[in-house]
Amino acid sequence: METQIIELEKKYWQGMENHDYETVKQLTYFPCIIAGKNGVQSVDEAKFKKMFESGDGDKIKVLSISDVEAKSIENTAIIGYVIELGIQDAKEKAPVKCACTSTWIKQNNNWVCALHTEAELSQ
């Protein structure tokens, strides 16, 4: 099951990278919880779509995913990893490394992400 969750996490990031809202939406449990540099928030589908679309100007590229730890507990799976992202906008930015965690739950025989956290790592 851990391999399946790692692949789902990669699919989620590919959806973000390709700005593919439908893929990301199908992999998300609503309302989901997101924690990061802007704090902690519960996000329903309408707010999620607005957040997703507001990021259209910044294009991300997943450069690497490493240090993966995953565990399954009944119908729940948790994963933690380090991701390196290239971010392109009007001016090139240096790659960013973040420690991420996600909690996936099995709902109607499908895995969906109910919680995601990101913490930017210091240089």
DSSP secondary structure of the chain: -HHHHHHHHHHHHHHHHTT-HHHHHHTEEEEEEEEETTEEEEE-HHHHHHHHHHGGGSEEEEEEEEEEEEEEETTEEEEEEEEEEEEESSSB---EEEEEEEEEEEETTEEEEEEEEEEEPP-
Check which CATH number belongs to the domain holding 15 and give it.
3.10.450.50
Query: Structural domain of residue 37, as residue ranges?
Result: 1-122
pTM (two decimals):
0.89
Structurally, how many domains does the chain consist of? 1
Work out the mean pLDDT of the chain and round it to a whole number: 91
Tens-place pLDDT, residues 45-70: 999 999 888 865 568 899 999 999 99
What pLDDT shows up at residue 29? Answer: 97
